[in-house]
Amino acid sequence: MSLRRAIFPGSFDPLTNGHLDIIKRSLPLFDEIIIAVLNNPEKNPMFSVEERCALIRQILPEIKNGECDLVVDSFSGLTADFARKRKATAIVRGIRAVSDYEYELRMALMNRRLEPSIETVFLMAAEEYSYVSSNLMKQVFTLGGRVEGLVPTLVEAKMREKLK
């Protein structure tokens, strides 16, 4: 029997409760999920790749259900290449709105062209997180707005440290 391994790629800068919701809802679907942190320095990240991976590793035990292994890794380059190297059978993506769907559909079709054996699985964002994005959380936070309940408490504390 083959391992049902998925990757959940993203910048996770910062990790949001929307990301955690997608991870939680993916747990029953796979034997292993690799949270794949994209190293893209051009995005002007708040946290380094190492910091993002460490934060995710600290938070994941809170959502682990025992049936699905959760792994954190980082990558640069094409998602399809990383998925192939890690022998994933699926790429998990969250969709918040129609605009996400249009972008994600193009990405899924390109990933399929690059690696036909890997399927993309779309999960709809929970209503309470349908407007939450990492970029919006950074913007609101740096302008003094509250992000409580939209990012994990540990992430909010680390964001506060970054602002000092």
- Tell me the catalytic residues: 19, 43, 96, 134
Residue 124: strand, helix, or coil: strand
Distance, CA of 12 to CA of 38 (rounded, Å): 8
E strands, the chain, are: 5-10, 32-38, 69-75, 90-95, 119-124
Residue 116: strand, helix, or coil: coil
Distance, CA of 109 to CA of 116 (rounded, Å): 9
Listed in sequence order, the DSSP H helices in 60-143 are 79-85, 98-114, 134-142
Side by side, the strands of the sheet bearing 69-75 are 69-75, 32-38, 5-10, 90-95, 119-124
The distance in angstroms from the start CA to the end CA of the chain is 51
